[in-house]
Amino acid sequence: MFHREGSRIIMNSFILAAIITVLAEYKISIEWLKMLIQITTLVLLLLVLQFFRNPKRTTPINEKHLISPVDGKVVIVEEVFEKEYFKDTRLQVSIFMSPLNVHVTRYAMSGTVKFSKYHPGQYLVAWHPKSSELNERTTIVLENESFGEILYRQIAGAVARRIVNYAQEGTQVVQGEDAGFIKFGSRVDLFLPLNTQLNVKVNDVVKGGVQTIAHIA
């Protein structure tokens, strides 16, 4: 299964790959060069397909648990001052996605979308300390009875050039459902209440939509 955000790119990639393969077959007489071009074209097509894959996952819905919003590696766990929305100290958990990870963003919990805003910005590498404040990004706040308000931020990186955000203020969302997509590698930051109990640490690899990364008593 592939994500809807990749449908046009996948179709165009198939057409381009077919054209290149046919042209190489009939226009290039050097056998090794023809094979090299055709194999390279196939590999590039497979990379596009794997990037836009959208595996079906069953989320264990629990109001007192937060599930990972994305696949990737935990790169930051620390208390920080969140200056955009909360304007106080929060527990930040950042998950970095390589181009090989699934790039679907999923809702970490069920609740109401209280805030949703897009910010244009730079394209620093996603692990840069300032990328959360300077890069192109979206800021979304969800609220439920157990956690109160949590904030997550989709952040573009040096390669990522488009963030898709489905969260609309005032809507009710369900834990694990599709919340958006980041094209070609980036990271997601979560800002949680200080009393949140974490189930992960730096360098842990997490799986979006199924893995519990935090809970509250």
Report pLDDT digits (tens) over 3-54: 777 688 889 998 999 999 999 888 888 898 989 999 999 999 988 887 788 8
Residue 160 has pLDDT above 80, yes or no: no
What CA–CA distance (Å, rounded) separates 215 from 193? 11
Averaged pLDDT for residues 82-90: 95
User: pTM for the whole thing?
Assistant: 0.83
DSSP state, 135? B
CB 179 within 8 A of CB 113: no
* Pair of tokens at residue 2: 């592939």
Residue identified by tokens 């999923």 is 106
Q: Mark out the alpha helices in the chain (DSSP H runs).
A: 7-27, 31-51, 131-134
56, β-bridge pairs: none
Residue 74 in 3-state DSSP? strand
Residue 61 has pLDDT above 90, yes or no: yes
| Number of other CB atoms surrounding residue 122 within 10 Å | 14
Closest alpha carbon to 78 in 216, 190, 215: 190
Report pLDDT digits (tens) over 163-216: 889 999 999 999 999 999 887 668 899 999 999 999 999 999 999 999 999 999
Residue 135 has pLDDT above 60, yes or no: yes
Fold topology of 65-215: Glucose Permease (Domain IIA) (2.70.70)
In the chain, where are the structural domains located?
4-51, 65-215
For the annotated catalytic residues, the residue numbers are 186
Share of the chain above pLDDT 70, in %: 89
pLDDT value of position 4: 77
pLDDT value of position 212: 97
Write down the mean pLDDT value for the chain: 88
